[in-house]
Amino acid sequence: MPVVIHSNPNFPLQVGPNGSQAYVQQLVFRQCITEVCQWNPDLDPMIAARFINNALREVVDRRVWYALKVRGNINIPTITTTGTCTVTNSSNLVAGIGTNWTTALIGSQFRSGFSGPWRTIFNVDPINQILTIDTPYGGKTRQSGYQVQQVYATLGANIKYLLLAKNQNQGWPIEVNGNQETLDAWDVWRISLGWTTYFATLPPTPDGQFQIEMWPTPYQAQVFPFEAYIQPPDMQLDSDSPPSFIRADLLVTRAIVDAKLFGGRGSKYYDPTVASMKSQEFAAKLEAMENADNMLDQQDVTWLFGQEEGRVGFGPGSTWVQSHDA
């Protein structure tokens, strides 16, 4: 049977589940709610739904589950330097002279000279050739050359953790989940271009998306494949189910704990003894699911290949290795 690949319409950089789960859960959201309410008939179904989604988030936060892994590509456009620009002190508007700026530049980064930081382009007026950058320019008003490049990248609003990335042009793995302090120690002016080896985490975007800086800054059109873990949304529709391989009965067991404690001693269904028993049952089921998940995606034992030779990306690369004797 052929494998069908589904792109993710909500996050076009990613390839992953399309909503039709290959591994069908034993209960859908409505069935989960009904089962929890059977343990406390006074419980409002909306509260039961909240207990179930709380359980889902608790389980998701336990580890990076195989079911939450996606792959995708960071597409890097060619650097833009045509023409010159006028930057004005304390203004976030940049005027182009002899440029051909289009709205395709929105989301890329701009700078004029090496002494200023990269600024993200929020808007482009293609008729008047005006860029709107996220923070005002702080240097002297002047006309000069400039660079527009893809320096920062967001992988999707659902990304929780970046697992790996690859530089296909140079043929090496990229070191991910680095920090800005290390990057500043190496190259505070960000002079190095091309030969990207390092992804450093940045603060989230204004709308809360996970964001990285790529270094050395890529300047040619290329693609960085990546794998990452997502944060799944809460279940809302009756037909919703947990992500593949995350057991629905596990979530129900955890929600029953809250259901048997809801309302306190004033509720005739209050039963801390049952709640304690269900809490222990939840812990046992969760450990079993973790063991099963580790067989799908080994995480307990890892080997950081290449670290013994120094920082990943500063090795010779696959082309060099293939053309030289060991």
Q: Looking at the predicted structure, is the pLDDT value of residue 22 above 70? A: no
The encoded tokens of residue 48 equal 């039961």
For residues 30 and 8, give the distance between their C-alpha atoms in angstroms, rounded to a whole number: 25
Nearest Cα neighbor of 172 from 309, 325, 15 is 309
Which DSSP symbol is given to 108? S
Rg of the chain, C-alpha, whole Å: 25
More confident residue, 7 or 150: 150
Strand partners for 99: none
Neighbours of 303 (CB within 10 A): 7
Q: CA-to-CA distance for 131 and 122, rounded, in angstroms?
A: 8
Show Cβ contacts of residue 181 under 8 Å, excluding neighbours closer than 6 positions: none
8-state DSSP, 4: P
Q: What share of the chain is helix, strand, coil (3-state, %, to 5)?
A: 30, 25, 50
Backbone phi, then psi, for 7, in 5-degree steps?
A: -80, 160
Name 87's bridge partners: 94, 142
Angle, in degrees to the nearest 10, between helices 29-38 and 248-261: 40
Q: Is the overall model pTM greater than 0.85, yes or no?
A: no
Q: pLDDT band for 298, please (50, 70, 90 cuts).
A: confident
Q: Band the pLDDT of 2: cuts 50, 70, 90.
A: very low
Tokens of 257: 């704990």
User: Per-residue pLDDT tens for 173-227?
Assistant: 999 999 999 999 999 999 998 889 999 999 999 889 999 999 999 989 999 999 9
Q: For the ranges 22-36, 123-137, 236-250, 253-267, which has the lowest average pLDDT? A: 22-36
Cβ count within 10 A of residue 138 = 12
Q: So what's the pLDDT on residue 3?
A: 43
The model's pLDDT over 101-133, given as tens digits with 9 standing for 90+, comes to 999 999 999 999 888 899 999 999 999 999 999
* pLDDT of 137 over the 80 cut: yes
Quote the mean pLDDT of the chain.
87
Reported as a single tens digit per residue, the pLDDT across 155-164 is 888 899 999 9
Which run of H or of E encompasses 32? helix 29-38
* Residue 7 pLDDT grade (very low, low, confident, very high; cuts 50, 70, 90): low
User: How high is the pLDDT of residue 206?
Assistant: 87
Residues of the chain with pLDDT > 70: what percent?
84
Cβ(205)–Cβ(211) below 8 Å: yes
Percent of the residues in the chain that have a pLDDT greater than 90, as a whole number: 67
Provide the pLDDT for residue 312.
46
Whether residue 232 has a cis bond before it, omega within 30° of 0: no
pLDDT at 166: 96
